[in-house]
A and B are shown apart, each in its own frame.
Chain A
């Protein structure tokens, strides 16, 4: 039986469905103190005084920490995780490290910034005391509009970032300026992807417990190793004294891919007080003090001929960083490297700036720059069609990269410094299949008739490419244990992706056992000396490669040991069913348990001459560059032209993610991603008012899609192109779902109202936005 490719139900489910999982809030360490924060009520202000006396005297309060209290003891996080790699020089990147303060000291820079930490015997008592902390502020002018914030005279967020421009880059491919000047037709658009947030169902949470010199930190994070390194650096202790582990984790989607002030501070407090200390973020805190995302304003121009062939695109955009954009090469540079999608556009220019403002910081969120890029590109394609009175499907098809030009070179570097070269093919066939599946021709035949009956139905289309499996590396170690199981140690940090199951399928095939015989452990800095984490559609590619390479090494090792035991040459042995045996003579063999004992150090060892003891092998996999998935998405919508209400009837997605290990899990990733895309398109919006106050601070204001908003979803895995850039032939899939819905749904609404020739260039497409567009068009 081969496990890879099967719809295997997940190994990780039983504790989760029975409510016996252990998320950070569920730990029950005796004597745990709970922390609540006083947070800034102002976007920008000077702190003139802090009085904690009354709070300190309140029932249950153990300690209180302010910015001045920890000055010189706990350093701000200076996140320089994305220093530009060699190969990226042509993009002329200028990146200032992002500063993230642990507790405000003298000045607050966004609403929600942590100012004072109250430690008490219960969360109730900690929150009581929060109300008793007296802080006086002097309000200061705030930078809130990124286009204004970069101009001279604007309030400065951090003194080390001149003009608030924290990062910038530029890309030039061909000569877009000349092509625009020479163009038969051209258009210009302003397109905005609004500020949204990942909103995982579990908020963040940190629990730190100190014994002697060592602190164990359980954090709801996607990057345990980086969290460990940053904590150690910020509080000035060796990394070995900090162990960071993930517990069960209620989603992340990029919001937990940063090191946060609370992770540092809770660790520090636990080391000061020598007891377990926990902070569990509440939802309001999550909405104002966990990373936001997107928030890009694009000014784009396109040149095209009378048939709709696009000859040049020139884009300038500003990303509203808030107080930091810790990953400018993801949030902003991904825009450039994914902008031209599946299209053959010879001339391309883009200028990007990440600008600091007095808002919460901006992190990559599922898709990370790709949804923003796809929204601009596929709105442009649609506008070209509208301008020329052509069918949008025809314009898309005319611009697709033909198979004979694959592997297509985009003539610009990826963010890892290597040139973007697609390792995929079949764009036109995938697009034709989308039109067939969605019933495009029939729609064109029946649309006018439906409209006459009062049904305003539209179909909109979108395309995407996705560089997946980004480095820098991932780690894996495999061992046979005393029970005869095969144990995986992985540097990834799963939080819903089903990596236990997926990786167990891979290892089960390698060793001829079942996934149940495989033990999977990950997300713990004590397991492996180096590791990275789970984000950016990377784990199946990078962790998978590290695991399969470790498997191969371990198979060689256990065959050599079994050969010694059986007095046979290793090449005459085979592995299967938890045994190593002689080819064709299954009765003549040794079990994994016996191999484990033979591999142990000391007198019982039966090792080949020169082999050291142990039944484990490890591998660090460094990808040559990313591997490219792609896909096409179609949306069917009905629009009420009176109210602007949009009813998404159907989403169809075809995608290539290379070799599929578990179709059930891949389908779940696509469905979940598409529905997040619906939320980002129609409902979700982090709104700040003109004084920098966040207006969406509950799920009553920040609207997530519920089951009632879910349309019919049709998906097909393309027969695609197994990657030759990793040993499993896989491509990442986690982020693909939300990339195209904004463009596809916007284009579908425009199609539903095609006689009006409306434009929809600003997300979210709320009823008010759609109604206003209709009104502007004279409808």
Chain B
């Protein structure tokens, strides 16, 4: 079989490939300049990209963000657009896969030449988009509460960072006289990081952590872990579980005789959408957010009316939806203050840009690109709405790296 001729032919193909491969030589000294922006601002419209997962495990949550982004775009267009230009939005599916998020944001920035991208939900999706948006000097608006410890020139974070949600929740627990706390979370980055902060702050506040349990994201059976909560009998349970796994947790919790009276739960990912999907009456349990549908303000009333008018009266509004809605309006305010769609111009004048959002007035911090938000603790009532039982009074300045908290030691366990 191995005739000299065939060897010669193989050799030729290999040599050919090698030559062709090497002909595309690299550039070792290059600094790697950011690609030229291809955003076209000459026409009557401005292109924006909406990048959310409409398939895969995260579609549950991200579809709601997509909905409120579309609503905000419609409203802004009806009101004359941004700097007189109509918003034209390009939608893409992130498919709940970080690598797809990286691919699609690249496509939006370099192929569709959008002026800004709105979306992402999991930290994984944001981390995946970060280098791409930085390399292209683009803009990303990220609308979800997250674990902090990040600030990029090219990202605006319109959800809460930890000092606007986790830490206020701990302040609330301390004010309630809580002495023991059990941590229950999904086994991934946000709960692990949040719990690291919680443990350090609890030590400072004199709250004892009596247990810590994690279950994989797609695992719904919490029975054995809840048994440990029963055994530890904590004053409160701090719940950082994500998505559908919450249902299994809540069911197991009630099944084993725990109640909101004996061992209440405070959650950071159960909102108006999730509460009725638990299949249990969760009245009396708590959640920490920066927005509830029950927030009483004219802006919020308008937002809820517009949302339910477009998507149906049975659809509740929730924190991430509000943060997404706000992000588009903040973008409009940023552009109009800078009088430019250029990223550098926008960043230049970003500090202090405000918007009268449904949650209250929010203000951009020009240094870390997060926004000042008021922290709220809500208690679930029998209509699956939240009654606000505690608030931080005034908006909390964002501090993603917790530099203003001397008990925080990032290198400690």
Whether A associates with B in a native complex is no
Show the binding face of A for B, using Cβ within 8 Å.
none
Residue numbers of B with Cβ under 8 A of A are none
